[in-house]
Structure 1
């Protein structure tokens, strides 16, 4: 059977953007990443251990092709030295280990962040695709096509609604929990063909290149979390992370992630300086309407016209939820919607809720508190309690 991973380019764009920032500013950081499944799968994931091991062996034999590196060089925010680094890069098998614990699959990657951070997305879609190979493929794809057509029909019907100040735009964020690579490609190609007025790109860099679409992404939680272990006061880690991002990208990739220690704590650090430098904010936990209203109020307090900023929503979105949020905000702020699992794994079978998160950096615990109970992630309860105290976060 064909390997799951087709190309080292087939990962989320923000892996490359964070990777470049770490390589330039924190190349010696050591990270530990842990895999976790948050729900109960139809089949025990432990049964996949041997297959996952083989897929990781294959992954660690791969290298970026010259054509792939040239594509990355063509993105104006990718710097030449980072592209040169990628021409030499190869995942090291010694940095990632697979084990089982009863029915559970345990995967841990430990090593220099610039060598192990890239494992995350590949591990997630390897596990996901291997899991769903145990289902009836034809029946699943047939149902998925029906559901995709319903989404297209709903968006075409929405097009008849009155025009609002800002357009509706959405993107594919579904690489990590997709049903399969072939289905992912069909979804993105279909949306690009059928809904060009709404569909603006994909986080999957491989598909963006292949289908000539815009690659989408900026930063993820691991980027912000790592700064909890760097040489800065814990209470200042968000400001330092944002400052380093500004210095690395000088105006590009200006969407900041807000929920590493909660929106309220983020906004206390997101002062006039950062509010002017960043184009907008990304929501990934908590009530999206409440979050968006807080953002608009914050911009108003800073005397910034929210209509010049963008709010990107990416937390467990469906098309109806995205449209509802758009109707609520579109006349007051620019919006964008990153839809993941509900585009690439809506087959009628329950999707896996799997993550692979940074848990330690430089030997110290790091954590995500989140604005949604259950979405936080850490292996050190003492550090979580301390982080909550420092940032007055009581969720």
Structure 2
């Protein structure tokens, strides 16, 4: 291993991995999943040396275990139950679950196969490792870091001087960060810059940094949860994926931990299931694809149609945001809802070179395909086009006949 270990704590993942993880532990412990890495950049190539470093970094990550101090911290999160925290005392990543080769157009192929309980936890650290290896080994890292620091200072100045108003915002950039060093620098400086600002820095999705800097860990659910909970059982109608997933979530958390993700198989089909009970019990909804203004207005109309006061509900935006986009959305919606933002790459990897567009997605559950059909063409991912066509037909049937 040429670089220092990139992931040094099992807390170094996004909070929603624990909230989904507890639901999986209690309700889907036998489910098995396959996760597949994809680089969407057409002009990026990983060298054999990078692939070997990534393999070594993942092997080092698999040697980690939760410390007693980390378990105590997790036990203090209101909605995490003691039996799940005790399970984490025994849990650790398994290197044999990974297959890492150079057999891909971009030079890097990664698959992870295991129980959903295991493999769900691999996504975020793997992407963080891939990013940092690429930027350290493909560029002059110190030069990139200097450009990152300059841009970070400009962001902090805008916060300090109240040049913009974001309302409540959080940092969501772990999976695509320049480096662990860069992300920590951002948390430290943005926390300080927002102290006397009109914008409120709520916290970070990175549980390790949330603990270190005594700020809130932030996150609820991801697309994988709705894909697997809704499509992992062949006895279920995949067009009702949202209903199966939201029902399981309410059984796990009741009114706690309640931001629902709307776009896994399209927002219009989500609204078919997001009726009075779910819309009342969930504190809000998250946008991650499609036009954010159209989405926000649609959600407000939906709450109105159910007789729910939309001003009591949160609209959380998290799709490719920067400060200007977030400020414009805040200005548009803040009189009609609680508005919040999860800002990722713009905070954690804004340098003079483009950030990578990499993902690691669930492609199979219990031996058959699962799919995401995003509100933005091109954001979905599935190995089996026939299954995608089947799912699209079931969604079309439901939208046209219910």
Which bracket does the TM-score occupy, shorter chain normalised? over 0.9
SS at match of 1:108: strand
Give 1:307's aligned residue. Answer: 311
Task: Give yes or no for contact 1:144–1:347 (8 Å, CA) kept in 2.
Answer: yes
**Is 2:154 the counterpart of 1:150?**
yes
Alignment of 1:224-235 (within 5 A): 224-226=226-228, 227-230=230-233, 231-235=235-239
Task: Give yes or no for contact 2:39–2:106 (8 Å, CA) kept in 1.
Answer: no
Task: Give yes or no for contact 1:168–1:326 (8 Å, CA) kept in 2.
Answer: yes
Q: 1:256 aligns with which of 247, 253, 260?
A: 260
**CA–CA separation in structure 2 for the residues paired with 1:124 and 1:251:** 31
Give 1:180's aligned residue. Answer: 179
Q: 1:88 aligns with which of 87, 90, 100?
A: 90
Pair 42,356 (structure 1): closer, same or farther in 2 beyond 3 Å:
closer
Task: Give yes or no for contact 1:221–1:368 (8 Å, CA) kept in 2.
Answer: yes
Aligned length: 389
**Is 2:66 the counterpart of 1:61?**
no
Pair 41,341 (structure 1): closer, same or farther in 2 beyond 3 Å:
farther
SS at match of 2:173: coil
Alignment of 1:72-87 (within 5 A): 72-87=74-89
CA-to-aligned-CA distance 1:252-273 (integer Å, 9 cap, x gap): 1110000011111111111111
Give 1:325's aligned residue. Answer: 329
CA-to-aligned-CA distance 1:58-106 (integer Å, 9 cap, x gap): 1111111111011000001111111101111111111111012254311
- TM-score computed with the length of structure 1 as normaliser: 0.95
Task: Give yes or no for contact 1:177–1:345 (8 Å, CA) kept in 2.
Answer: yes
**CA–CA separation in structure 2 for the residues paired with 1:283 and 1:45:** 35
CA-to-aligned-CA distance 1:154-208 (integer Å, 9 cap, x gap): 33444687xxxxx701100000000110110010011111113521100000000
**CA–CA separation in structure 2 for the residues paired with 1:204 and 1:222:** 18
**CA–CA separation in structure 1 for the residues paired with 2:288 and 2:182:** 25
Any stretches of 5+ residues in structure 1 without a counterpart? 162-166
**CA–CA separation in structure 1 for the residues paired with 2:38 and 2:323:** 27
Q: 1:115: Cα distance to partner?
A: 1.4
Give 2:389's aligned residue. Answer: 385
- TM-score computed with the length of structure 2 as normaliser: 0.94
Give 1:194's aligned residue. Answer: 193
**CA–CA separation in structure 1 for the residues paired with 2:106 and 2:324:** 35
Instruction: Identify which range, 48-57 or 215-224, moves more after superposition.
Output: 48-57
**CA–CA separation in structure 2 for the residues paired with 1:222 and 1:73:** 24
Q: 1:109 aligns with which of 107, 112, 136?
A: 112
Task: Give yes or no for contact 1:45–1:131 (8 Å, CA) kept in 2.
Answer: no
Instruction: Identify which range, 272-281 or 47-56, moves more after superposition.
Output: 47-56
**Is 2:139 the counterpart of 1:140?**
no
Q: 2:37 aligns with which of 35, 38, 44?
A: 35
Task: Give yes or no for contact 2:363–2:382 (8 Å, CA) kept in 1.
Answer: yes
Pair 169,294 (structure 1): closer, same or farther in 2 beyond 3 Å:
same
**CA–CA separation in structure 1 for the residues paired with 2:353 and 2:48:** 19
Give 1:164's aligned residue. Answer: none
Q: 1:53: Cα distance to partner?
A: 1.1
How large is the RMSD of aligned CA atoms in angstroms? Answer: 1.6
**CA–CA separation in structure 1 for the residues paired with 2:48 and 2:338:** 44
Any stretches of 5+ residues in structure 2 without a counterpart? none
CA-to-aligned-CA distance 1:113-167 (integer Å, 9 cap, x gap): 1111111001100000000102222221221122112222333444687xxxxx7
**CA–CA separation in structure 2 for the residues paired with 1:364 and 1:138:** 45
**CA–CA separation in structure 1 for the residues paired with 2:155 and 2:46:** 31
**CA–CA separation in structure 1 for the residues paired with 2:355 and 2:263:** 24
Pair 387,141 (structure 1): closer, same or farther in 2 beyond 3 Å:
same
